[in-house]
């Protein structure tokens, strides 16, 4: 991890922890990878390819006890608020990091952002995030307790999301990361968890995942699922 | 392939960010608040550049604490945003170069 990026990430996590936010959110997205590598897969090689986006998943049931003005809390670090137009999502941006909150989309869906008034922020609603909040692990990152999706859920989520991607580069990245994480999970004796999770997703999703494994020469994973 | 996609995304983000930081800089109050001592008396001025010339705008013998704080914060944020802008410009240069294949990744 780049030193200045690491420092800024750690400082953000410390401030979220001090404000009582960190324990209420799940760190998702490509920032999970270095934490999985260092704290779950015991330093096994894992792709370090990631963007600056650091995404936090907020469960719909989450209640924040304190009111925290997050943009003000991070202002002195140089973070500024960025509004997407016309959707209205807000992000906190910095040359080293882009902070965004996400919430699982349910029902018919809407393009409106999900308000998080306690944090003076809002969250983007996305499909399939429920898979990431169903099973989580807590890792110790520089003395902070950070909640991450279980790597099996993370890997399978990447594959499911890849089947819906229109952007070819993003699709390729999701498949690459998803397969890499799932293979590491298998080596880490997480096979039963993968089989169980696969059984629990919808039949439609199962078909798409199998197709994706077939298209990407992941017979080793298919064999386990069969 | 995936690397190229990530670089493209990062370049777009950096360009958008550069615009946002420039907008934030524009929002900050212009100039700096200074205190001059003239014949034993203190006077406050806003010092700024206008068409390449330094201009002093008289603010009075006393100014509110809020104004002092506003200008102190603006000074701090201006320095911070300029530093981050310079970082972004370097990122953009690097990413454009990398996408053209002229720089090692």
Which burial class, exposed, middle or buried, applies to B101 when counting CB atoms under 10 A from its CB (0-12, 13-18, 19+)?
exposed
Within an 8 Å CB–CB cutoff, is residue A167 touching chain B?
A: yes
Which burial class, exposed, middle or buried, applies to A99 when counting CB atoms under 10 A from its CB (0-12, 13-18, 19+)?
buried
Domain span at residue A87 reads 1-149
Residues A70 and A138 occupy one common structural domain: yes
Contact A49 B3 (CB under 8 A): yes
Neighboring chain A residues of B21 at a CB cutoff of 8 Å = 80
Closest CA to A24 of A97, A123, A110, A112: A123
Structural domain ending residue among the three candidates A149, A179, A195: A149
Residues A19 and A106 occupy one common structural domain: yes
Domain with A114 in it: what CATH number?
3.30.460
Q: What pLDDT was estimated at residue A43?
A: 66
Structural domain ending residue among the three candidates A149, A182, A208: A149
Residues A188 and A145 occupy one common structural domain: no
Identify the DSSP state of B56. E
For A41-55, B1-15, B25-39, which range has the lowest pLDDT when averaged over its residues? Answer: A41-55
Cis link prior to A86 (omega < 30° from 0)? Answer: yes
Confidence of residue A219 (pLDDT cuts 50, 70, 90): very high
Contact B3 A82 (CB under 8 A): no
Cross-chain CB nearest to B10 (options A52, A80, A94): A52
Residues A47 and A125 occupy one common structural domain: yes
Confidence of residue A51 (pLDDT cuts 50, 70, 90): confident
Closest Cα in chain B, distance from residue A63 (Å): 31
Neighboring chain B residues of A167 at a CB cutoff of 8 Å = 5
Count how many residues are written for chain A.
226
Asked whether the predicted pLDDT for residue B53 surpasses 60, the reply is: yes
Closest residue in chain B to residue A30, using alpha carbons only: B6
Which burial class, exposed, middle or buried, applies to A129 when counting CB atoms under 10 A from its CB (0-12, 13-18, 19+)?
buried
Residues A85 and A110 occupy one common structural domain: yes
Closest Cα in chain A, distance from residue B12 (Å): 12
Sequence-distant (≥ 6) Cβ neighbours of residue B36 within 8 angstroms: B42, B43, B44, B45
ipTM: 0.80
Structural domain ending residue among the three candidates A149, A180, A195: A149
| Average pLDDT taken over every residue of chain A | 91
Within an 8 Å CB–CB cutoff, is residue B86 touching chain A?
A: no
Let me know the angle formed at the C-alpha of A124 by A120 and A125, rounded to the nearest 5 degrees.
130
Query: What is the tens place of the pLDDT at every residue in A91-140?
Result: 999 999 999 999 999 888 888 999 999 999 999 999 999 999 999 999 99
Neighboring chain A residues of B83 at a CB cutoff of 8 Å = 78
Neighboring chain B residues of A52 at a CB cutoff of 8 Å = 10, 13
Beta carbon pairs, A and B, within 8 Å: 53
Asked whether the predicted pLDDT for residue A3 surpasses 80, the reply is: no
Residues A122 and A194 occupy one common structural domain: no
Contact A49 B2 (CB under 8 A): yes
Predicted TM-score of the model (pTM)? 0.87
Residues A32 and A11 occupy one common structural domain: yes
Contact A51 B9 (CB under 8 A): yes
Asked whether the predicted pLDDT for residue A7 surpasses 70, the reply is: yes
Residues A140 and A223 occupy one common structural domain: no
Contact B6 A176 (CB under 8 A): no
Contact B2 A168 (CB under 8 A): no
Residues A177 and A126 occupy one common structural domain: no
Number of structural domains chain A divides into: 2
Residues A80 and A95 occupy one common structural domain: yes
Residues A60 and A113 occupy one common structural domain: yes
Residues A62 and A95 occupy one common structural domain: yes
Identify the DSSP state of A61. T
Closest Cα in chain B, distance from residue A179 (Å): 14
Surface of A (116-135) touching B: CB under 8 A: none
Closest Cα in chain A, distance from residue B5 (Å): 5
Rounded to whole angstroms, what are the CA distances from A15 to A32, B68, B104?
19, 28, 35
Give Cα A145 to chain centroid, integer Å. Answer: 16
């Amino acid at each position: 991890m780049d030193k200045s990026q690491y420092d800024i990430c750690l400082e953000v996590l410390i401030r979220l922890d001090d404000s009582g936010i960190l324990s209420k959110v799940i760190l998702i997205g490509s920032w999970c990878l270095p934490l999985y590598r260092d704290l779950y897969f015991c330093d096994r090689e894992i792709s370090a390819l990631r963007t600056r986006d650091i995404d936090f998943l907020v469960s719909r049931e989450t209640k924040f006890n304190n009111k925290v003005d997050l943009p003000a809390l991070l202002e002195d670090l140089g973070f500024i608020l960025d509004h997407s137009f016309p959707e209205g999502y807000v992000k906190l941006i910095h040359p080293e990091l882009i902070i965004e909150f996400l919430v699982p989309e349910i029902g018919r869906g809407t393009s409106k952002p999900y308000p998080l008034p306690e944090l003076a922020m809002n969250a983007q609603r996305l499909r399939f995030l429920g898979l990431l909040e169903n099973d989580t692990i807590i890792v110790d990152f520089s003395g902070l307790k950070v909640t991450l999706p279980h790597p099996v859920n993370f890997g399978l989520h990447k594959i499911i999301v890849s089947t819906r991607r229109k952007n070819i580069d993003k699709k390729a990245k999701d498949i690459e990361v998803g397969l890499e994480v799932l293979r590491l999970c298998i080596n880490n004796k997480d096979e039963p968890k993968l089989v169980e999770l696969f059984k629990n997703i919808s039949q439609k999703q199962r078909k798409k995942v199998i197709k994706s494994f077939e298209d990407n020469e992941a017979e080793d994973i298919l064999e386990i699922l069969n | 392939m995936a690397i190229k996609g990530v670089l493209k995304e990062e370049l777009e983000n950096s360009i958008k960010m550069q615009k946002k930081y420039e907008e934030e800089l524009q929002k900050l109050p212009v100039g700096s608040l200074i205190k001059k001592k003239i014949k034993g008396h203190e006077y406050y001025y806003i010092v700024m550049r206008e068409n390449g010339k330094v201009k002093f705008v008289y603010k009075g013998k006393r100014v509110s604490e809020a104004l002092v704080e506003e200008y102190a914060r603006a000074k701090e944020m201006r320095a911070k945003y300029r530093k981050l802008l310079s970082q972004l410009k370097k990122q953009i240069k690097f990413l454009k170069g990398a996408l053209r294949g002229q720089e090692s990744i």
